[in-house]
């Protein structure tokens, strides 16, 4: 089970192979085509210490991230030399620096009032970090609290799940459409074969690995 302790331990042991030193190339390529207006608030669930948040802020967006691990949140600000202010709310500690706000807390506990203020959502290594039954909750409880006309980008991985254990989990296109299709328009933007760039998957004997980028558009 992907309980909080699993992730706290990963951060304590610095087993964070998902973290990238640079912004995600597929985000840089596709985000502009979503047409999200500068000044919009972009929700980043299960944010880690992703540098994608820095890029989004540099493009004029206001970022609202949520992350369980206090280690991750504090590393984000210290590693990027960002001084922050700290406030407490019923659902977590809020770290703020310029246009970036990171809530150290459980994404599933965020109130509808806060999520309802988000104009867009960016999901990289978040949905695919969750086991199947939690992915259902994630779509039905968390994404469902985002407002009408919300736009989003979702980046997934596809590989034969039987060949390797998650996380990251394989989330295939049919599941993405099942999870989000009721409330969101789902458009596949790119599917890219990345097996050759992932030695850990090759070593584990995985025979195919794709990353897929989707555009999500919340229907009213």
Residue in 36, 64, 68, 157 binding ligand SAM, rule: CB under 6 A: 68
Report 122-181 residues binding ligand SAM (CB under 6 A): 124-126, 129
Report 16-45 residues binding ligand SAM (CB under 6 A): 18-19
DSSP per residue over 133-195, as a string? HHHHHIIIIIGGGSPTT-EEEEEEEE--GGGS--SSPP--HHHHHHHHTTTEEEEEEEEEE-G
The count of other CB atoms within 10 Å of the CB of residue 27 is 18
Q: Does 66 bind ligand SAM (CB under 6 A)?
A: yes
Residue whose CB is less far from ligand SAM, 28 or 37: 28
Provide the minimum distance between the beta carbon of 46 and ligand SAM in the complex, in angstroms, as a whole number: 3
Residue whose CB is less far from ligand SAM, 148 or 199: 199
E-strand stretches of the chain = 41-44, 62-67, 85-89, 92-97, 100-104, 120-124, 151-158, 184-193, 210-218
Is 163 one of the annotated binding-site residues?
no
Q: Would you give the binding string for ligand SAM spanning residues 83-112, x where CB under 6 A is met?
A: -----------------------xxx----
């Amino acid at each position: 089970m992907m309980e909080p302790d699993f992730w706290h331990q990963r951060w304590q042991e610095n087993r964070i192979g998902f973290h990238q030193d640079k912004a995600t190339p597929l985000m840089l390529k596709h985000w502009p085509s979503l047409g999200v207006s500068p000044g919009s608030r972009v929700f980043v669930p299960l944010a880690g210490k992703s540098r994608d948040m820095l890029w989004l802020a540099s493009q004029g967006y206001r970022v609202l991230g949520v992350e369980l691990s206090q280690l991750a949140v504090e590393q984000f600000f210290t590693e990027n030399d960002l001084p922050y202010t700290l406030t407490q709310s019923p659902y977590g500690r809020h770290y703020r620096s310029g246009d970036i706000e990171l809530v150290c807390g459980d994404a599933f506990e965020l109130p509808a009032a806060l999520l309802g203020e988000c104009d867009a959502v960016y999901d990289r290594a978040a949905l695919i970090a969750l086991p199947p039954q939690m992915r259902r909750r994630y779509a039905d409880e968390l994404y469902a609290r985002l407002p009408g006309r919300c736009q989003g980008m979702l980046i997934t991985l596809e590989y034969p799940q039987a060949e390797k254990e998650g996380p990251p989990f394989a989330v295939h296109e049919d599941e993405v459409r099942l999870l989000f299709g009721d409330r969101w328009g789902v458009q596949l933007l790119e599917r890219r074969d990345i097996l050759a760039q992932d030695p850990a998957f090759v070593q584990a004997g995985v025979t195919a690995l794709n990353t897929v980028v989707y555009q999500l558009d919340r229907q009213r």
